[in-house]
Amino acid sequence: MPILTTQENTDKSVSTEEGGKTAVQLRSVTKTYTNGYDALLDVSIEIKQGEFLFITGPSGSGKSTLLKLLYGEELPTQGEVIVDEFNVAALRGDRLSSLRRRIGIVFQDYKLIPQRTVAENVTFVLQAQGFTRKEIQRRLEPTLKLVGLLSKADRFPDQLSGGEQQRVSIARAIVGTPPLLLADEPTGNLDPDNSWQVMQILQKLNSFGATVIVTTHDEQLVRRCNQPVVQVRNGRLYRK
């Protein structure tokens, strides 16, 4: 269970799991956008390596902002964001790129390249990172197998269902075996069956050792998965 210092218990951090290395930590983080809007207010949480965490909350509550801070898309206005022992805000250039390579990201809208096949969508990042052709081939097959798309490697995104497209985007996120996987409303565009399938895959990756953080406003799905949950409301974090 993540260690969460909420506004309800500001003096004590609560943990049910002792030890373990910290994967992600927010220390009194406030994020104020340039328009003066406070998306997150004095948020503190620590997530250990290998944990699974759901972040729920209504639309506009600050879920995406929290994930963006973790992969350095946004910087905290106050407080510190630590990922893999690094202060994200202090990283520039190569060191930020290197941290980002250790984070897999899945978005609600898949963000696949329409003119490229499933296999190409999954591997183009590895190519850009200079992996050898042999290493790319070695990684591709088990990754597609894991998401159930081995037989569709040569299809294009518009020849796939929404659920399949999302599974391609998960394959792309994990093919480099990142220790941290962030999924921002990964089931937002999917029906219940496909949503369940996606959650099963994310939980399987967690069982293989990845730290997995998933935002969603689907309370029913969260209950069904029986994993730790925190809720964002009006920029503050609460234990569910």
Ligand X SMILES: Nc1ncnc2c1ncn2[C@@H]1O[C@H](COP(=O)(O)OP(=O)(O)O)[C@@H](O)[C@H]1O
Q: How many residues belong to the site for ligand X (CB under 6 A)?
A: 12
Print the binding letters for residues 3-42 with ligand X: x by CB under 6 A, - otherwise.
Answer: ------------------------------x-x-x-x---
Burial of 29 (0-12, 13-18, 19+ CB in 10 A): buried
Print the binding letters for residues 21-60 with Mg ion: x by CB under 5 A, - otherwise.
Answer: ----------------------------------------
Print the binding letters for residues 41-60 with ligand X: x by CB under 6 A, - otherwise.
Answer: ----------------x-xx
Print the binding letters for residues 123-162 with Mg ion: x by CB under 5 A, - otherwise.
Answer: ----------------------------------------
Q: Which is nearer to ligand X, 71 or 147 (CB)?
A: 71
Q: Which stretch binds Mg ion (CB under 5 A): 6-14, 62-70, 97-105, 165-173?
A: 62-70
With binding defined as CB under 5 A, does residue 64 bind Mg ion? yes
Residue 61 binding target from ligand X, Mg ion, none, CB below 5 to 8 Å by type: ligand X
CA distance 232 to 240: 10
| Selected binder of ligand X within 25, 56, 64, 108 (CB under 6 A) | 64
| Selected binder of ligand X within 5, 44, 56, 61 (CB under 6 A) | 61
Measured in whole angstroms, the distance separating CA 206 from the mean position of its chain's CA atoms is 11
In the complex, least distance from residue 208 CB atom to ligand X, rounded to whole angstroms: 27
Can you read off the two tokens belonging to residue 108? 């609600």
51 Rama sector, left if φ>0, alpha if ψ -120 to 50, beta otherwise: beta
Q: Name residues whose C-beta falls within 8 Å of residue 54's C-beta, 6 or more positions apart in sequence.
A: 214, 215, 216, 222, 225, 227, 228, 229, 230
DSSP for 49-105, please give it: TT-EEEEE--TTSSHHHHHHHHTTSS--SEEEEEETTEEGGG--HHHHHHHHHTEEE
CA 119 vs CA 106, 111, 124, 139, 183: distances in Å? 17, 15, 8, 11, 21
- Binding residues for ligand X (CB under 6 A): 33, 35, 37, 39, 57, 59-65
- Binding residues for Mg ion (CB under 5 A): 63-64
